[in-house]
Each structure stands twice: as structure tokens, then as C-alpha cells.
A and B are shown apart, each in its own frame.
Chain A
Amino acid sequence: MGLTHRALLYDERSDFLAATGAFLRQAVEVGGAAVAVVRPDNLGPLREEMAGYRDAIEFYDSAEFYRHPVRTLKAYLELVDRVSPLRVHAVAEPVWDGHDARQRLEWQRYESLINVVFAGSDASSLCPYDRSTLPGDVLDQVRLTHPVVVDGADESTSDAYLDPACYSAARDRNRRHDRPADAEYLPIESADLQPLRLFVATRANAHELTPAAAQNLVTAANEVAANALAHGAPPMGAWVWTSGDEIVCEIGDHGHWRPHPLTGFVPPKSALDTGFGLWSVRLLVDLVELRGGWDGTFVRLRVRR
């Protein structure tokens, strides 16, 4: 059957409740797994609206569920797996406030990635967008990331919908790659990565990351460096700097790799499949930025305190 990924544009809560309520009722009636992941404001009213179906619907608070785009993808994958062979029908409402520009961009990318990551499933998702409160640039992206848009009684195919790889590549085009002059540098000169781990761990601790977050960053940096050693070209090294509440670690080598825009975003089935390393790296840190340029290949890892 394949994935159905629809956006719902609404202005009033009553419109939201009518459309999501109908979607969930239908899901229950056809014997599917009905799931509602909605923003805190909408959670209470939707529960009330669906009171008659309470036990048949799983409710989640978006503020909890949408914290990290790649981990959220993973959570949905686990949900689809858990209820299989039932078909998942999910009201999936992302959170759009409290993000800086870069985080917002990642959540928009996430909405596009849904189309690839769940392409092989027969899940059906309805993503509500509150037109009365959301900023224009969030609403602008909806038709680029959702193949189908529901607006009131009107359901139409989006002419603006972009292939996720193209969408992702376009989102990266304006990224800046400068590095502050005071970034600390460690050359990677041998296959023994213990000095790199010490270098990263010391700075992560100084930046007051929790021990778990520091270990995750060290594991991610080690993985990227091991990839550079296996596939890249010397010289290679690591830079670390801080930027506000972020610690940034970049691993670079002189090899010429052109990462696909979706590299590491599409989950492997297990650790035995290719792609496990970079998918894990994306889970371990807050943000991964890949760049293949004339000057080499660079992987930037960002973690917020």
C-alpha cells in the first residue's frame, strides 16, 4: 500500500479536532493502530474529543516525542515495528516553537525524510499545522515536504512536493562552514584513536556536558575518525570549539567523498547492515553536518549543553 503522508492546515482548534478526530475514528474502525502525537495545548482537547475511543488510541505529548529529529524517526520506527502487522495511523504534530534557525531547518528536513524512511511501510500520517500561529517560513515548507495537503474540505496533491534528497540538498546549500580562529586542533596520525578520545572528552567535560553526553560525543567522534582512517586520505585531524551552549567537533580529511544528502538519515535494519555507523552518529549527537568540498571531507558534530 505504501506510506500516506499528509499535512493538515487548520486555523481553529475546532477544525483541528474535527479533522484529527475523523482520522483517528476511521483508523480504529478499520482495525488499525491509532496514535496521536500532538502539542501539549491540543492533547487535552483531543483526548476529550476521543473519549469514547480512549483505550483504542495511544496518546503522546509532542513536547516529549519531538526532541531530536533522528531519535524521533527512531521512535516512530519502533512504534511501527511494535504494532506490526497492524497499520499505523498517526496524527503527528511537530513542535515548532523554541527552535533556532538551524534546529527549525532540521525539523523541516525531518518532515521530508518521513517520505523516505517510511516509504516501505504502509503507515498513514496526518501532520497538523496551525496556520493561525505558525511562522510563515514553517508554513511555506509544508507543500515541499508533504505529498498531499488537506485544507478544510479540500484534499489535494502538492505540486510543490520535492524529492527528499533534493529537498535536503537544497536545505544544506546555505550552510556556512567557517571555523573560529581559536578552534583547537589535533592531528590524527595513527590508527590508535585514544589521543583523539582524550582530546574530545577533556573538552566535553570542560564544557560541562553530562558524562553520558560526553561519552556519546566521544563515541561519535571516534566513529567518524575511524571512517576517515578507513576511507579518507591524510592529512586528517579534529577541531573542537565552543559556540554559545554548543560544543562543536569537526573531523576532516583530504579525501574526496561526496556524501549523498540522505547519508546516515535512512536507518539500517541492524548493526549488520551498512549505514549503521553514520545513523548511530546522528543519534549520538544533536546535529551532524557532512560536507564534501574541494578541500576534503568534513564531518561536524554539534552537542548542546
Chain B
Amino acid sequence: MEAFWSVRRPVGALHAGDHAWLACSGAEEHEHVVGAFVRDGLLAREKVVYVAAEPDPQIPGVVGTPSPELLTVVHAGHTGARPVLDAVTAEVEAAERAGFAGVRVTLDLTCAARDPEATRELMECDAALDRLVRPSTALSVICRVDRRRVPPDAVDLLRAAHTVHAAPDPDFEDAVLRIVRTFDPRGLELSGELDASRHTVLDQALATVLAHGDDGPVHLDLAELRFIDLGALNMLAEVASRRVGRAPLVLDRMPSQLHEVIATVGWNMLPGLKVGCAAVLAPVPRP
């Protein structure tokens, strides 16, 4: 099924009837997004079905040892898409019979999508899955691939087949500011307005990014940031200065007015900060 429109929805806001898509850039993004999907499901005592390509997967978001009634792991192996669809359908029907208020399924399509022959079958099964999910009042699904291991054509094909794209839950969100992790490139997407009353949350979010990363650059996507105060610029410069000898903090897609503020103050005042992707006038939706 071809989707002509799509929405990006934070994983925490996915609901029954959502058949969502996630093209991961790596383990960190997988852990962050799929982990939240699994964890929220287990905490709400919903049924979670985790379909993995490998036999003993590290399942993100699992705390302790959940009971087998709550969490079922399906090993897809190289059996093809059809048997996996059948297994998932059986698990969903069993969960619904067992009276679970919610059923969450997440499937790794990476192996199937790597092979052009298998992709055709995969697309048919995905359409069948869609017919199962859409009318359901309990079922939500995330289909995922490791973007680096799948041909771009197959990624595009699968992306187009899903109307909902699973996005990370914000690290912070209120009426004024939203902070969301980004994974390719690594960093944060800031939207809204950033002032002294929200420096602490920025500090925490930055600390999380820095704690998990290597010494590579950290990108801040500012396309939808309408205001940044001097104190926050000072904080960013401070973070950059603690990374001496490592890659800089890169400010991407700065709105022209923010750019003007920094140019007036002087980039030399903010050592360690670099301008990345060009400034934009209007916010551009992320992929």
C-alpha cells in the first residue's frame, strides 16, 4: 500500500491502530525508540511481541525479567516474511483472547529487506499486517530496519508503505521548549524558546548525549528554535570548552535571526561552536 502522506509521531504517542515505521541509524536509536515502546508496554501491563532476526536478542527497555505472558520473543531467523506474519497473527489473537487491553508488536525487517526477492514477499506481508492493525482497538506495531544494512531502494519502498513514522520521545517538552534526541547525526533537536528557566533541562539532555557518544561532533538542530538566550549560548560554549581536543558542537539549520544574534555578539566569543548545515527560513520537516 502506497502512503501519500505520513506523520512523525513520538513513540510514546503511538496508539492502537498505528502501524509505524522506524529506520534506525544504529543501536543507540534502536534502544532509545524501540526501548521506550517495549518499556511503556510492559509498565502498562500490555502484551509485547518482540520479533528479532537473531535467536537471543538484547531486548531494549526491559527491566528485570518480565513474565512470558507479558513478553514474547519471536525468532524470525531466515524463514521469510510469511511464517513471521503467521506467528505474529497467532500471538496477537492469543493476546486478545487473554484480554490484554493493549498489544504491542515490533518486528525487525532488516534481513528480509536486504534481499530483493524477499522484499516482494515482505511488502505483501506488510500489507496484510496493515489490514490486521488498522481496524484494531488494541494493536500497535513498529516495523524497523537497520538503515545502514538495507539498500536505499528497499528503505524508500518500506518508508512509503507506512503512514506513521515512529520518532523518539522528547527528552523534555513543555509549552515553551521541546528537546528531542537525534541519532544521525548525533545530537539534539531544539524547538520553541530556550531561556534561563530551562537551562537545567538542556544541560541534562546534553549530558545524556555526551555520556553515550564517542568524541565525534554533537549536532544541535535549531531549525525550529525561535529564541535562545545568552546564558544558553554561554552553556553551549562551556560544554564545547570541556571537549577540548574533541569534535565541536555544531549548530545546524539556524534560523537567520538567531544567526544574527550570534554574529552580533561574535563567534570568537563562543569557542568550540561551529555552524553546520545552512540556515533556513522556514522549518523543514525531518525525514
By a beta-carbon cutoff of 8 Å, the part of chain A in contact with chain B is 71, 74, 78, 81, 190-194, 197, 211-212, 215-216, 218-219, 222-223, 226, 229-230, 268, 270-272, 276-277, 280-281, 283-284
Contacts and interface: CB of A to CB of B under 8 A. Distances in A.
Contacts of A191: 196-197
A268 B237 CA distance: 14
Given A71-B264, A216-B261, A276-B234, 14 more contacts: A78-B266, A193-B196, A197-B193, A219-B230, A222-B195, A222-B230, A223-B230, A226-B196, A226-B231, A270-B237, A270-B271, A271-B234, A271-B270, A284-B265
Interface in B222-241: 227, 229-231, 233-234, 237-238, 241
A215 B264 CA distance: 11
Contact of A270 (B195, B230, B268): B268
B54 interface: no
A212 B257 contact: yes
26 contacts: A74-B266, A78-B266, A190-B197, A192-B176, A193-B229, A194-B176, A194-B193, A197-B195, A197-B227, A211-B256, A215-B227, A215-B260, A216-B264, A218-B227, A219-B229, A222-B195, A223-B230, A226-B229, A226-B231, A270-B269, A270-B270, A272-B241, A276-B234, A277-B234, A280-B230, A280-B264
A222 B264 contact: no
Contacts of B193: 194, 197
B269 A276 contact: yes
Interface string B245-287: 0000000000011101100111011110000000000000000
Nearest to B235: A271
Contacts of B227: 197, 215, 218-219, 222
A75 to B, nearest CB: 10
B275 to A, nearest CB: 16
A253 to B, nearest CB: 15
Contacts of A219: 227, 229-230, 261
B266 A192 contact: no
B229 A271 contact: no
A71 B264 CA distance: 8
Nearest to A215: B257
A212 to B, nearest CB: 4
A288 to B, nearest CB: 13
A149 B260 CA distance: 39
Contacts of B265: 271, 280, 283-284
Q: Is the interface of A mostly helix, strand, loop or mixed?
A: helix
A277 to B, nearest CB: 5
A73 to B, nearest CB: 11
B229 A223 contact: yes
A284 B197 contact: no
A219 B234 CA distance: 13
A241 to B, nearest CB: 23
A219 to B, nearest CB: 5
Contacts of A268: 269
Nearest to B227: A197
A121 B256 CA distance: 34
A194 B257 CA distance: 17
Nearest to B234: A271
Contacts of A223: 229-231
A191 B227 CA distance: 16
Nearest to B256: A212
A222 to B, nearest CB: 5
Contacts of A276: 230, 234, 269
Nearest to B229: A222
A194 B269 CA distance: 25
A190 B237 CA distance: 27
Nearest to A283: B264
A190 B193 CA distance: 16
Contacts of B256: 211-212
Given A212-B257, A219-B261, A194 B270 contact: no
Given A192-B197, A226-B195, A284-B265, A272 B237 contact: yes
A272 B236 CA distance: 10
- Top 7 nearest A-B pairs by Cβ distance? A215-B257, A212-B260, A271-B237, A191-B197, A271-B234, A280-B265, A226-B196
Given A197-B227, A216-B260, A284-B261, A271 B269 contact: yes
A223 B194 CA distance: 12
A223 B227 CA distance: 12
A277 B195 CA distance: 13
B197 A193 contact: yes
Contacts of B229: 193, 219, 222-223, 226
A142 B270 CA distance: 35
A226 B231 CA distance: 9
B175 to A, nearest CB: 9
Nearest to B197: A191
A83 to B, nearest CB: 15
Given A197-B227, A222-B229, A270-B269, A215 B261 contact: yes
Interface centre among B241, B257, B271 (most CB of A within 10 A): B257
A277 B237 CA distance: 13
Given A197-B193, A270-B271, A277 B264 contact: no
